[in-house]
Structure 1
């Protein structure tokens, strides 16, 4: 074989080594409900957590049910309104929320089936809350400006808007009415939110100051390595995870179903379709990106498994709520580097935590 041919073959194998299209092999997948679409609403937090609770019911009972995302949304809008008015408008009001808000709502109002409350006036309607949120906010601002004493019917007006856009809940019978359900084996007190930030002590329980944490939910703080170790442990033990993450990076692609952090910015486009080296994520870099607003809580999803590419790199299989036409049949493959940098927090059953972590957190 001549030198020229050897050189060409060497170049071919070199290029094929460094420029490979993604070929994912799922190595762990936990049963979950079908991918659905939140459409024109900012309610990913409910879709994420509702999917998580559906998976929990499957895990504990083997029963597959379709819970209503919008039942949680409508109920939480009531709590958001009280919070906004009593804080005299000095808090955020909008469509955003967090995983623990659904747990709080479920504990207070219960969970309902999709067939019992769709959150639509007509079955064929698409979800679109843009006008509804505007009208709700207008009522709240009026209540604050005039004071509730001078606008005593603000709650009635507010509820009427919810009824008009989402439907009434008076005749909905929740399937889970108590904090502990003996039928679906759900105890809402068993769910904890873990995170990793350096501005709070490791193993502390603190309120994370992010805009959507209107309910002042608590987070348990871990080192970054232990944070990731517990995510892996939970998945390996059959527990799914509700994820709060930043998806504003250009390397989070709903189109290609990939979420990665390239080592070199010049790879920002090619890494969406080809395997490229990724950045090493340190706790310090993660903290800095959070504090400079490059990492924000702008989307919540549901981790249901793990996969690897043909080079052995690990990814998390993440269920999104943008419909099956998005990503890879509605799923996103998120690299470890992306999760390390961009995951604000995760909600998990406390039995999905490592025993050493549970002990350190006093759970």
Structure 2
């Protein structure tokens, strides 16, 4: 997820965002909210699984790392381990190294940027281990929150220069130069560190303290142009590693999430938040029954003033939105619970990484229709998957 809208939380832009894009952002902030929304919704929690504190990814495209590390932190809690804050920037830093290698091998024919997918966190954990946030914050030059505009430009500049191959043959030094540039911004990774009085490497910390098995995690999506319950390559720009996911039917998406939550498992969720039905300020996301462009001025004004009817989501509707770019893979969050409104409609309780800056202090209530419509991928422990789905995908 490239999180093209991470600035909702911070209200400032990185250097690579144009003034026009900033104007559009401010406009969307003004339209996708209501001053009285919280008074018009009455949510009752049905399930609220334990999770760590709300974080702020700042001006960085690292939602995928924040959300999936939050997911791993909840996995530790589920397994009875002591809760702790993992370093999402350590994971991102490792992914940037691997992404750089891939970019050069592909002669530049893959996307750059600091975006990624939930499976990147699992893959980096498997290869590089993990580090607590207290040991590796990534704040290496005086900032108090992430600010990655210059770093992203530097990474892109180095890699593009390398693939131009000015020497006629690549030297063995490009990777060291690229890694050194990243470490100059984020900090050099310690060979070992002390945590709670014991010395670890990133690998031993992952094994002995975090303790998850990366092979236990399964990723899903839903498309009509692939056979259901088989694996396919997720064709979104930030799937730079070309990982494969299992294909579910639309209703399976929420069935899997419901089963997971009821069984004590949270879910890492990739989605599209560039929607008029998504209001970060009000902490509500839904799919309006009437398309926004067909609404009256009053309907637009009242969008988030209490529950509203929603559009019915079909496989065809979902696929069309993906095919025409109405749905884009732009954000990652963490589904931690289930609630219902005053009419009995159910919503997922979703943890975000934009700080405690909205009506619900960093959380958002998302309807099941929105999740069926706008999910680009979801990742969870295989123990949270319904048995009939396990049988259908053959694991």
- TM-score of the aligned structures, taking structure 1 as reference length: 0.91
Which has the larger displacement, 151-160 or 213-222?
151-160
Out of 173, 176, 181, the residue aligned to residue 156 of structure 1 is 176
Q: For residues 285-341 of structure 1, what are the alpha-carbon distances to aligned partners after superposition, in whole Å with 9 as ceiling and x for unaligned?
A: 001101111001100000000111101011000000000013410001001111010
Distance 1:319 1:185 in 2: 23
1:29 aligns to what?
Answer: 48
Distance 2:201 2:288 in 1: 45
Out of 109, 127, 131, the residue aligned to residue 90 of structure 1 is 109
2:341 aligns to what?
Answer: 309
Change (3 A) 1:327 1:143: farther
Larger radius of gyration: 1
Structure 2 residues not aligned, in runs of 5+: 1-38, 194-199
1:358 aligns to what?
Answer: 390
1:13 aligns to what?
Answer: none
Change (3 A) 1:82 1:342: same
Distance 2:205 2:270 in 1: 23
Change (3 A) 1:84 1:273: same
Distance 2:252 2:119 in 1: 21
SS at match of 2:135: coil
1:278 aligns with 2:310: yes
Change (3 A) 1:268 1:75: same
Report matched runs for 1:117-196 at 5 Å. Answer: 117-121=136-140, 125-146=144-165, 149-173=169-193, 177=203, 181=207, 183-196=209-222
Report matched runs for 1:190-229 at 5 Å. Answer: 190-229=216-255
Distance 2:362 2:310 in 1: 24
1:109 aligns to what?
Answer: 128
Contact 1:27 1:306 (8 Å CA) reproduced: yes
Distance 1:289 1:244 in 2: 15
SS at match of 2:79: helix
Q: Per chain length, whose mean CA-contact separation is higher, i.e. which structure has more relative contact order (CA < 8 Å, sep 6+)?
A: 2
Contact 1:27 1:307 (8 Å CA) reproduced: yes
Displacement of 1:144: 0.5
Structure 1 residues not aligned, in runs of 5+: 1-19
1:38 aligns with 2:57: yes
SS at match of 1:186: coil
Report matched runs for 1:9-28 at 5 Å. Answer: 21-28=40-47
Contact 2:270 2:375 (8 Å CA) reproduced: yes
Distance 2:349 2:315 in 1: 23
Change (3 A) 1:145 1:124: closer
Out of 272, 275, 286, the residue aligned to residue 260 of structure 1 is 286
SS at match of 2:40: coil
Distance 2:212 2:376 in 1: 25
Contact 2:192 2:201 (8 Å CA) reproduced: no
Contact 1:260 1:271 (8 Å CA) reproduced: no
Distance 1:335 1:318 in 2: 10
Distance 2:253 2:393 in 1: 13
1:10 aligns to what?
Answer: none
Change (3 A) 1:182 1:351: farther
Out of 350, 375, 379, the residue aligned to residue 347 of structure 1 is 379
Q: For residues 132-159 of structure 1, what are the alpha-carbon distances to aligned partners after superposition, in whole Å with 9 as ceiling and x for unaligned?
A: 1101110101100026735543222212
Q: For residues 210-240 of structure 1, what are the alpha-carbon distances to aligned partners after superposition, in whole Å with 9 as ceiling and x for unaligned?
A: 1010011111111111221111000111100
Displacement of 1:181: 3.4
> When the two structures are aligned, how many residues end up with a matched partner?
344
Distance 1:195 1:107 in 2: 22
Displacement of 1:352: 0.3
Aligned-residue RMSD, C-alpha = 1.8
Contact 2:45 2:340 (8 Å CA) reproduced: yes
1:250 aligns with 2:270: no
Displacement of 1:113: 0.4
Change (3 A) 1:179 1:191: farther
Distance 1:168 1:183 in 2: 22
